[in-house]
Chains A and B, each alone.
Chain A
Amino acid sequence: ETGVTQTPRHLVMGMTNKKSLKCEQHLGHNAMYWYKQSAKKPLELMFVYSLEERVENNSVPSRFSPECPNSSHLFLHLHTLQPEDSALYLCASSQEVYNSYEQYFGPGTRLTVT
Protein backbone atom coordinates (compact mmCIF):
# COMPACT_ATOMS: atom_id res chain seq x y z
CA GLU A 1 0.00 0.00 0.00
CA THR A 2 1.49 3.33 -1.00
CA GLY A 3 2.16 5.87 1.75
CA VAL A 4 -0.57 8.45 1.15
CA THR A 5 -3.63 7.75 -0.97
CA GLN A 6 -6.33 10.10 -2.15
CA THR A 7 -9.73 9.51 -3.70
CA PRO A 8 -11.15 10.40 -6.07
CA ARG A 9 -8.29 11.28 -8.41
CA HIS A 10 -10.55 13.42 -10.58
CA LEU A 11 -13.78 15.21 -9.68
CA VAL A 12 -16.10 17.43 -11.70
CA MET A 13 -18.82 19.14 -9.74
CA GLY A 14 -21.35 21.88 -10.21
CA MET A 15 -21.48 24.91 -7.97
CA THR A 16 -24.49 23.59 -6.08
CA ASN A 17 -23.12 20.10 -5.43
CA LYS A 18 -21.73 18.66 -2.22
CA LYS A 19 -18.79 16.28 -2.44
CA SER A 20 -15.98 15.02 -0.23
CA LEU A 21 -12.31 14.31 -0.84
CA LYS A 22 -10.68 11.50 1.11
CA CYS A 23 -7.09 11.04 2.18
CA GLU A 24 -5.54 8.09 3.99
CA GLN A 25 -1.96 7.69 5.20
CA HIS A 26 -0.34 4.35 6.00
CA LEU A 27 2.85 5.75 7.52
CA GLY A 28 1.90 6.04 11.18
CA HIS A 29 2.29 9.82 11.04
CA ASN A 30 0.68 12.20 13.51
CA ALA A 31 0.28 15.25 11.26
CA MET A 32 -1.87 15.65 8.14
CA TYR A 33 -2.29 18.57 5.77
CA TRP A 34 -4.55 19.82 2.98
CA TYR A 35 -2.97 21.94 0.23
CA LYS A 36 -4.39 23.66 -2.84
CA GLN A 37 -2.17 23.73 -5.94
CA SER A 38 -3.13 26.06 -8.78
CA ALA A 39 -1.18 26.33 -12.00
CA LYS A 40 2.03 28.35 -11.70
CA LYS A 41 1.26 29.30 -8.09
CA PRO A 42 2.90 28.18 -4.84
CA LEU A 43 1.26 25.47 -2.83
CA GLU A 44 -1.33 27.01 -0.51
CA LEU A 45 -1.64 25.42 2.91
CA MET A 46 -5.31 25.10 3.83
CA PHE A 47 -5.54 23.03 7.01
CA VAL A 48 -3.21 21.23 9.41
CA TYR A 49 -4.19 18.48 11.82
CA SER A 50 -2.12 17.02 14.63
CA LEU A 51 -3.52 13.83 16.14
CA GLU A 52 -7.03 14.62 14.87
CA GLU A 53 -6.97 18.16 16.25
CA ARG A 54 -6.98 21.09 13.85
CA VAL A 55 -3.98 23.28 14.57
CA GLU A 56 -3.97 25.61 11.56
CA ASN A 57 -6.73 27.13 9.46
CA ASN A 58 -5.26 29.54 6.96
CA SER A 59 -8.23 31.82 6.18
CA VAL A 60 -9.95 29.24 4.04
CA PRO A 61 -13.54 29.97 2.91
CA SER A 62 -16.20 28.10 4.86
CA ARG A 63 -17.28 26.25 1.72
CA PHE A 64 -14.28 24.01 2.50
CA SER A 65 -14.80 21.96 5.65
CA PRO A 66 -12.14 19.53 6.89
CA GLU A 67 -12.70 16.48 9.05
CA CYS A 68 -10.12 14.24 10.72
CA PRO A 69 -11.80 11.26 12.42
CA ASN A 70 -8.47 9.62 13.32
CA SER A 71 -4.77 10.16 12.67
CA SER A 72 -4.86 8.06 9.47
CA HIS A 73 -7.80 9.66 7.70
CA LEU A 74 -8.53 13.17 6.52
CA PHE A 75 -11.52 14.47 4.59
CA LEU A 76 -12.27 17.72 2.83
CA HIS A 77 -15.98 18.39 2.45
CA LEU A 78 -16.93 20.70 -0.39
CA HIS A 79 -20.16 22.63 -0.93
CA THR A 80 -21.28 25.54 -3.09
CA LEU A 81 -17.85 25.91 -4.63
CA GLN A 82 -16.85 28.57 -7.14
CA PRO A 83 -15.10 28.08 -10.51
CA GLU A 84 -11.91 29.61 -9.04
CA ASP A 85 -11.77 26.67 -6.63
CA SER A 86 -10.81 24.43 -9.55
CA ALA A 87 -7.32 23.16 -8.70
CA LEU A 88 -5.31 20.14 -7.60
CA TYR A 89 -5.97 19.35 -3.94
CA LEU A 90 -3.07 17.60 -2.26
CA CYS A 91 -3.05 15.77 1.03
CA ALA A 92 0.21 15.28 2.90
CA SER A 93 1.40 13.78 6.16
CA SER A 94 4.48 14.08 8.34
CA GLN A 95 5.76 12.46 11.48
CA GLU A 96 4.94 15.44 13.65
CA VAL A 97 3.70 18.97 13.17
CA TYR A 98 5.87 21.94 14.19
CA ASN A 99 9.06 20.10 13.33
CA SER A 100 11.39 19.87 10.36
CA TYR A 101 10.15 16.51 9.15
CA GLU A 102 9.62 16.00 5.45
CA GLN A 103 6.08 15.79 4.22
CA TYR A 104 4.79 12.87 2.19
CA PHE A 105 2.20 13.76 -0.43
CA GLY A 106 -0.67 11.91 -1.98
CA PRO A 107 -1.25 12.04 -5.76
CA GLY A 108 -3.96 14.68 -5.39
CA THR A 109 -7.53 15.16 -6.53
CA ARG A 110 -7.94 17.22 -9.70
CA LEU A 111 -11.10 19.24 -9.03
CA THR A 112 -13.05 21.05 -11.73
CA VAL A 113 -15.97 23.26 -10.71
CA THR A 114 -18.40 23.99 -13.52
Chain B
Amino acid sequence: GQNIDQPTEMTATEGAIVQINCTYQTSGFNGLFWYQQHAGEAPTFLSYNVLDGLEEKGRFSSFLSRSKGYSYLLLKELQMKDSASYLCAVMDSNYQLIWGAGTKLIIKP
Protein backbone atom coordinates (compact mmCIF):
# COMPACT_ATOMS: atom_id res chain seq x y z
CA GLY B 1 0.00 0.00 0.00
CA GLN B 2 0.92 3.65 -0.18
CA ASN B 3 2.07 5.37 2.96
CA ILE B 4 3.32 8.75 4.12
CA ASP B 5 4.83 9.07 7.61
CA GLN B 6 5.51 12.28 9.49
CA PRO B 7 5.64 13.08 13.21
CA THR B 8 2.31 13.94 14.81
CA GLU B 9 3.54 16.92 16.79
CA MET B 10 6.72 18.94 17.34
CA THR B 11 7.59 21.81 19.65
CA ALA B 12 10.22 24.47 19.00
CA THR B 13 11.29 27.83 20.37
CA GLU B 14 10.80 31.19 18.70
CA GLY B 15 13.92 32.17 16.76
CA ALA B 16 15.20 28.60 16.52
CA ILE B 17 15.35 26.12 13.63
CA VAL B 18 13.12 23.06 13.23
CA GLN B 19 13.21 20.18 10.76
CA ILE B 20 10.02 18.24 9.97
CA ASN B 21 10.67 14.86 8.37
CA CYS B 22 8.52 12.93 5.94
CA THR B 23 9.10 9.41 4.64
CA TYR B 24 7.05 7.84 1.91
CA GLN B 25 6.31 4.60 0.08
CA THR B 26 4.23 5.14 -3.03
CA SER B 27 3.45 3.58 -6.39
CA GLY B 28 5.69 5.78 -8.49
CA PHE B 29 6.73 9.34 -7.84
CA ASN B 30 5.83 12.59 -9.56
CA GLY B 31 6.90 15.03 -6.90
CA LEU B 32 6.53 15.86 -3.23
CA PHE B 33 4.60 18.81 -1.82
CA TRP B 34 4.61 20.59 1.51
CA TYR B 35 1.56 22.56 2.63
CA GLN B 36 0.98 24.72 5.70
CA GLN B 37 -2.40 24.71 7.43
CA HIS B 38 -3.25 27.09 10.25
CA ALA B 39 -6.04 25.94 12.55
CA GLY B 40 -9.43 26.47 10.94
CA GLU B 41 -7.92 27.62 7.65
CA ALA B 42 -7.17 26.25 4.18
CA PRO B 43 -3.93 24.41 3.46
CA THR B 44 -1.57 26.67 1.53
CA PHE B 45 1.23 25.55 -0.77
CA LEU B 46 4.80 25.89 0.53
CA SER B 47 7.07 23.88 -1.75
CA TYR B 48 7.40 21.26 -4.47
CA ASN B 49 10.39 18.94 -4.98
CA VAL B 50 10.74 16.50 -7.86
CA LEU B 51 14.55 16.27 -8.10
CA ASP B 52 16.96 15.37 -5.30
CA GLY B 53 18.37 18.22 -3.33
CA LEU B 54 17.47 21.31 -1.40
CA GLU B 55 15.03 24.00 -2.50
CA GLU B 56 15.28 27.23 -0.54
CA LYS B 57 12.51 29.79 -0.29
CA GLY B 58 13.16 32.47 2.29
CA ARG B 59 13.04 31.06 5.80
CA PHE B 60 11.69 27.74 4.52
CA SER B 61 13.68 25.04 2.72
CA SER B 62 12.64 21.60 1.51
CA PHE B 63 14.90 18.65 0.82
CA LEU B 64 14.27 15.49 -1.16
CA SER B 65 16.06 12.16 -1.48
CA ARG B 66 14.15 9.92 -3.89
CA SER B 67 16.41 6.92 -3.31
CA LYS B 68 15.62 7.04 0.42
CA GLY B 69 11.95 7.99 0.06
CA TYR B 70 12.63 10.91 2.36
CA SER B 71 12.01 14.62 2.56
CA TYR B 72 12.27 17.30 5.19
CA LEU B 73 10.97 20.82 5.63
CA LEU B 74 13.37 23.14 7.40
CA LEU B 75 12.04 26.28 9.06
CA LYS B 76 14.56 28.89 10.21
CA GLU B 77 14.21 31.91 12.50
CA LEU B 78 10.93 30.57 13.79
CA GLN B 79 8.13 33.03 14.42
CA MET B 80 4.98 32.58 16.46
CA LYS B 81 2.94 32.71 13.24
CA ASP B 82 4.68 29.51 12.09
CA SER B 83 2.56 27.58 14.59
CA ALA B 84 0.49 25.43 12.24
CA SER B 85 0.18 21.94 10.82
CA TYR B 86 2.56 21.00 8.03
CA LEU B 87 1.29 18.47 5.50
CA CYS B 88 3.53 16.30 3.35
CA ALA B 89 2.00 14.89 0.15
CA VAL B 90 3.44 12.74 -2.63
CA MET B 91 2.10 12.57 -6.17
CA ASP B 92 2.10 8.96 -7.33
CA SER B 93 2.41 7.50 -10.81
CA ASN B 94 -1.29 8.21 -11.47
CA TYR B 95 -0.84 11.86 -10.46
CA GLN B 96 -2.90 11.29 -7.33
CA LEU B 97 -1.77 13.09 -4.19
CA ILE B 98 -1.11 10.78 -1.24
CA TRP B 99 -1.23 12.78 1.98
CA GLY B 100 0.41 12.41 5.36
CA ALA B 101 -1.61 13.08 8.49
CA GLY B 102 0.31 16.30 9.12
CA THR B 103 2.72 17.54 11.78
CA LYS B 104 1.39 20.02 14.29
CA LEU B 105 4.17 22.50 15.07
CA ILE B 106 3.93 24.40 18.34
CA ILE B 107 6.17 27.45 18.75
CA LYS B 108 6.94 28.61 22.28
CA PRO B 109 8.25 32.07 23.15
Contacts and interface: CB of A to CB of B under 8 A. Distances in A.
B101 A40 contact: yes
B91 A104 contact: no
B50 A100 contact: yes
A102 B42 contact: no
Nearest to B101: A42
B78 interface: no
Nearest to B87: A43
Interface size class of A (residues with CB under 8 A): 20 to 34
A114 B101 CA distance: 25
A98 B96 CA distance: 7
A66 interface: no
Interface size class of B (residues with CB under 8 A): 20 to 34
A67 B43 CA distance: 23
Contacts of B33: 102
Given A40-B101, A41-B101, A42-B101, A105 B95 contact: no
Nearest to A105: B42
Contacts of B30: 100
Interface in A71-114: 90, 97-100, 102-108, 110
A53 interface: no
Contacts of B41: 107
A51 interface: no
9 contacts: A40-B8, A40-B102, A43-B89, A90-B43, A102-B45, A104-B45, A105-B35, A107-B42, A110-B40
